[in-house]
Amino acid sequence: MRDLHSLHRLLGSTGLSVSPLGLGTVKLGRDQGVKYPNGFTIPDDQQALQLLGLARELGINLLDTAPAYGTSEQRLGPLLRGQRHDWVIVSKVGEEFDNGLSHFDFSAAHTRRSVERSLKRLETDYIDLVLVHSNGDDLAILQHEAVYDTLAELKQAGLIRGFGFSGKTVEGGLLALERGDCAMVTYNLGEQQERPVLDYAASHAKGVLIKKALASGHVCLDSGVDPVRASFELIFGHPGVASAIVGTINPLHLAHNVAMAAEVIVGTKSGNRGSAQ
């Protein structure tokens, strides 16, 4: 198997069915302050369309974007015209990126304004999942800011289908899952501190998306093992994981990642029937 069409899985109890790999789109909109080992050129519209078309062909239906990803949302709106129902779109609130710098606002007013702006930019009347883009102070955001309650209201109003938290701590991830639908967690060969969040998600039917699955392209091993395979064996070996977000703009890398993920997941399922989901 070289694609993901038959391997979609539920994202916790959101009712959303997602491909085990999602396409991160920061590189469609921003080339400043991006933590990748090599420089890159933002793809033009034709290249972006080809990349999105290849992703669909390979069975990817999950797209990850954010207001902090430069012009990513503005570009995705026109690029996805006529295809909205083919995609599960994840966006964020809380972080803005201007003139090379990030700044954060977790107020109710900003949260509403940000979601309304994302709806316009993405040319849609709903966003499947909106995550809080944490500044690292996870517990303070969840306990003292209005952003999570506001997202719950927006979900109630039908503007978003689910909400959650892209954080940096175990405590933040656990609290985010208690009160929300999904956590986005760093989990890779070099960083596994947030594993308790995956364990909680697996036992409470909550959604988990993995960020930095390949350590933002930095992953490498000296042992002769394919680092992508080793990364996916780690990630998809955990039953709490729904999908891993990979932010490549290289079609060959995308196809390789998909083929490797499919191989690993099918191998995990046949070796451990019933638990890979």
Q: Give the residue numbers marked as catalytic.
A: 69
Which residue has tokens 């966003």?
Answer: 127
Please, are residues 128 and 88 in contact by the beta-carbon 8 Å criterion? yes
CB neighbourhood size of 32 (10 A): 9
Closest to 175 in 3D by CA, of 123, 113, 183: 183
What is the β-pairing status of strands 129-133 and 88-93?
A: parallel
Largest Cα–Cα distance of the chain, in whole Å?
Answer: 52
Both tokens of 235, joined, read 């990630």
Name the DSSP class of 239: T
Query: Which structure tokens are listed for 171?
Result: 């405590």
- 8 A C-beta contact, residue 106 and residue 79: no
Query: Strand pairing of 88-93 and 62-64?
Result: parallel
- Other Cβ atoms closer than 10 A to 196: 14
DSSP string, 152-210: HHHHHTTSBS-EEEE-SSHHHHHHHHHHSSEEEEE-SSS--TTHHHHHHHHHHT-EEEE
